[in-house]
Amino acid sequence: MSATDVSARATSGRATQSRNESPTAGSDKVVTVVSHIVLTIWSIIVILPLLWVFLSSWKTTREIFDSPFALPQTWSFDNYVGAWTDSGIGKYMLNSVIVVGCSLVLVMILGAAAAYTLARFTFFGSQIVYYLILAGLTFPIFLAIVPLFFVLKNLGLLNTLPGLIATYVAFAFPFTVFFLYPFFRGLPSEIAEAAELDGAGEWRTFFQVMLPMARPGIVAIAIFNFLGLWNQFLLPVALNTNEDNYVLSQGMARFASQAGYAVDFGQLFAAVVITIVPVLAVYIFTQRQLQGSLSQGTMK
Amino acid sequence: MSANRLVFILVTLGLPFAFYTLFVLWPFAQAFIYSLTNWSGFSPNFEFVGLSNYTALLQNATFLKAVRNNLLMAVVIPIVTIALALALATMVTVGGSSTGAVRGLSRSSFYRIVSFFPYTIPAIVIGLVWAQMFDPSSGLINGLLTAVGLDQFRSFAWLGEVSTAMPATMFVIIWGFVGFYMVLFIAAIKGIPAELYDAARVDGAGRLRMTFMVTIPMVRDTIQTAYVYLGILALDAFVYMAALNPSGGPQNSTLTMTQDLFNTAFKKGQFGMASAMGVVLAVMTLLFAAIVFVVIRAIKGKDNR
């Protein structure tokens, strides 16, 4: 926002201010105070469960059953160590990192290439391909889950990490193409043509000229794909039932499916903290970085 | 078209599309075919039974109960989430002093950052956390309620009573999404030209009137998108149920179509029937999106007149 813009807005604001000055001043305060109160209450509703989980993660299962408020008698890392090893969170997290990491790289490469080609060239069938990709985005995964089970089984990929990676890539593909398509569409085709005139082949034009220009879009879609794949639940639960290959969301679901007293609740809370903290930390960190550039727009 | 370009198109689009066809399109198409068979999955042969899976579903009380549960969620969850998110977003953006330009609350970024927290937590973990919060004896909810003297909640099973299981479940899902849509609405509201608010103020509009006459019409597209996404999510809801009530809740009060489908396929091995359930779910999803588009377009048309 330019400086003149701001000052113009300030003047127009002052003009309205003189018009209705005193009557609104009182009700203004009320609105502001009420807003703060409501937003604070909501913030407490959001934070309180998380703080309680954090507190409980240091308590023994016995202490957890004694009282939801009491502080732990001793602060020890036992629950965290137990969750990481006994409950297998360490192993599951490693599987998740492998599966999500590989899938993310693959789907971004395949998706960007397909979106670029669809956006730049018109050829026989390109419209049909576009609508078939859109169809994959529209139908629920639940519709495909039974046949998919047998596709993987016939390929010998059932209950394997490569099989899971393949399905992750395939189901993230339409989302990636659909949202990257407008980005490539928005790039002026003159640039690609100029690159070709300068002797760059199709591949160099794509990798060295067009792909870097679509970077903001690629980063945004990659973040959404990461969150979506990291949280994916149905695909692993249905297609990856070998306990050694469990991903994190399956490992966490085990706590819910085990019956009452078989669960070590101290480890459950520790496992929740272990799962939440990395992504939350990344979010808070990037959020603070964004603050500086966003603060101008915040004061509307 | 040059040979080079043909190779380029085949590699960049043809290859990924073939892969996508094998793992996504082909299974989708197969689901429709299987839904017309009595395939049990473990025998290689099956017979075509026409629409009998579908007619059986129409008489299946459990499945119909699940459909009703999903429809209830698809109505309640989007409305409450959007209303709450919009109210909070409005407070953040135009809740500040109304003398001078319309402005947001001071120090509001704290609220925005905190509200977004749940979106960074995997759904299964949100379910686990709240299953513990609602725990009859060791949960924080009953702990707080008994601490303020409401002794009837001493060991009240929120997720185990027919009357409270569904509302508690819907609350959990709403808790998980309000912050995300709040941030989305804040961005949309900031995109509204300030002149519109100034003009409305000059015309003597109060805050409430401004919200209804300026904010909501201007962010209607965002509301529509949010409604469709939340509705589709409510028609699924599988992952939340897996954490809160894996077996369908008291008297199936929180059973969803997706849970029924999953059990029918992978526990009972009735793959033909499960595929028919998948088709019903897909049709309902598409119908839901279509209805939202039509309704919102109708409202828009009325306003423009």
Segment A179-196, tens digit of pLDDT: 899 889 888 888 888 888
* Rounded average pLDDT over A102-125: 94
Residue B43 counted as domain residue: no
Q: Is the same domain home to B108 and B190?
A: yes
Residue B3 counted as domain residue: yes
Q: Is the same domain home to B67 and B196?
A: yes
B-facing residues of A in 105-144 (CB < 8 A) are 110-111, 113-114, 116-118, 121, 123, 129, 132-133, 135-136, 138-140, 142-144
| B222 to chain A, closest Cα gap in Å | 16
- Taking alpha carbons only, the member of B131, B137, B128, B181 closest to residue B155 is B137
Quick one: pLDDT at residue A20? 42
Q: Is the same domain home to B81 and B218?
A: yes
Quick one: pLDDT at residue A256? 79
Q: What is the CATH number of the domain that holds B254?
A: 1.10.3720.10
Task: Return d(Cα A235, Cα A246) in angstroms, integer.
Answer: 11
Say if CB A171 and CB B23 are below 8 A apart.
yes
Interface test with A, best of B13, B88, B116, B283 (most A CBs within 10 A): B13
- Taking alpha carbons only, the member of B114, B117, B115, B97 closest to residue B106 is B97
Other Cβ atoms within 10 Å of A33 Cβ, number: 11
- N- to C-terminal Cα separation, chain A: 11
Q: Is the pTM of this model over 0.90?
A: no
Q: Is the same domain home to B7 and B80?
A: no
Are the beta carbons of A43 and B108 separated by less than 8 Å?
Answer: no
Pick the more confident residue, B105 or A150: A150
Task: Name beta bridge partners: B48.
Answer: B37
Residues in chain B with CB shorter than 8 Å from the CB of A145 are 27, 261-262, 265, 278
Q: Is the same domain home to B14 and B75?
A: no
Q: Is the pLDDT of residue A120 over 50?
A: yes
Q: What percent of chain A has pLDDT over 70?
A: 86
For B256-281, the pLDDT digits (tens) are 999 999 999 999 989 999 999 999 99
Q: Is the same domain home to B265 and B143?
A: yes
Mean pLDDT of chain A: 84
Our CA dihedral for A212, A215, A219, A225, rounded to 10 degrees, sits at -80
| A171 to chain B, closest Cα gap in Å | 7
What would the 3-class secondary structure string for A200-265 be? CCHHHHHHHHHHHHCHHHHHHHHHHHHHHHHCCCHHHHHHCCCHHHCCHHHHHHHHHHCCHHHCCH
Other Cβ atoms within 10 Å of A211 Cβ, number: 16
Residues in chain A with CB shorter than 8 Å from the CB of B242 are 233, 237, 253, 256-257
| A282 to chain B, closest Cα gap in Å | 10
Written as one letter, the residue type at B222 is T
Q: Is the pLDDT of residue A2 over 50?
A: no
Q: Is the same domain home to B235 and B150?
A: yes
Are the beta carbons of B5 and A121 separated by less than 8 Å?
Answer: yes
Are the beta carbons of A151 and B178 separated by less than 8 Å?
Answer: no
Quick one: pLDDT at residue A15? 40
Of the listed ranges A53-62, B105-114, B218-227, the least confidently predicted one is B105-114
A44-58 as b/e: b if 16+ CB within 10 A: eebeebbebbebbbb
Q: Is the same domain home to B14 and B90?
A: no
For A221-249, the pLDDT digits (tens) are 888 899 899 999 999 999 999 999 999 99
Quick one: pLDDT at residue A291? 44
Residue B84 counted as domain residue: yes
Q: Is the same domain home to B11 and B154?
A: no
Residue B49 counted as domain residue: no
> What's the CA angle centered on B136, arms B132 and B138, to 5 degrees?
60
Q: Is the same domain home to B283 and B194?
A: yes
**What single-letter DSSP state applies at residue B119?**
G
Domain spanning A88-263: CATH 2.30.30.140: no
Give the number of residues written for chain A.
300
Residues in chain A with CB shorter than 8 Å from the CB of B140 are 48-49, 52, 68
Quick one: pLDDT at residue B88? 93
For B163-173, the pLDDT digits (tens) are 999 999 999 99
Mean pLDDT of chain B: 89
Quick one: pLDDT at residue B162? 93
Q: Tell whether A61 lies on the interface with B, counting CB pairs under 8 A.
A: no
> What's the CA angle centered on A141, arms B22 and A174, to 5 degrees?
60
Confidence of residue B41 (pLDDT cuts 50, 70, 90): low
Of the listed ranges A21-25, A42-46, B289-293, the least confidently predicted one is A21-25
Confidence of residue B303 (pLDDT cuts 50, 70, 90): low
Token pair, residue A270, equals 């520790």
Quick one: pLDDT at residue A74? 85
Q: What percent of chain A has pLDDT over 90?
A: 50
Are the beta carbons of B105 and A39 separated by less than 8 Å?
Answer: yes
Say if CB A167 and CB B23 are below 8 A apart.
yes
* Rounded average pLDDT over B25-50: 87
For A135-171, the pLDDT digits (tens) are 988 899 999 999 999 999 999 999 999 999 999 999 9
3-state helix, strand, coil in chain B (%, to 5): 75, 0, 25
Interface test with A, best of B4, B107, B124 (most A CBs within 10 A): B124
Name the residue facing B12 among A114, A169, A269 (closest C-beta): A114
B-facing residues of A in 162-201 (CB < 8 A) are 166-167, 169-171, 173-174, 201
Q: Is the pLDDT of residue A18 over 50?
A: no
Quick one: pLDDT at residue B106? 67
Quick one: pLDDT at residue A28? 74
Other Cβ atoms within 10 Å of B127 Cβ, number: 27
Pick the more confident residue, B198 or A93: A93
Question: Domain total for chain B?
Answer: 2
Q: Is the pLDDT of residue A294 over 90?
A: no
Q: Is the same domain home to B244 and B168?
A: yes
Q: Is the same domain home to B143 and B211?
A: yes
- Taking alpha carbons only, the member of A216, A26, A126 closest to residue B12 is A126
For A198-215, the pLDDT digits (tens) are 888 889 989 988 899 888
Range of the domain at B271: 60-304
Task: Return d(Cα A298, Cα B187) in angstroms, integer.
Answer: 10
B-facing residues of A in 197-256 (CB < 8 A) are 201-203, 206, 227, 230-231, 233-234, 237-238, 248-249, 252-253, 255-256
Q: How many CA atoms lie within 13 A of A108 on its CB side?
A: 20
| B103 to chain A, closest Cα gap in Å | 5
* Rounded average pLDDT over A23-42: 80
Q: Is the pLDDT of residue A19 over 50?
A: no
- Number of helices (H) and strands (E), helices first, in chain B? 16, 0
Q: How many inter-chain contacts (A to B, CB under 8 Å) are there?
A: 297
State the span(s) of chain A assigned CATH 1.10.3720.10. 88-263
Residue B300 counted as domain residue: yes
In degrees and rounded to multiples of 5, residue B37 shows phi and psi of -120, 170
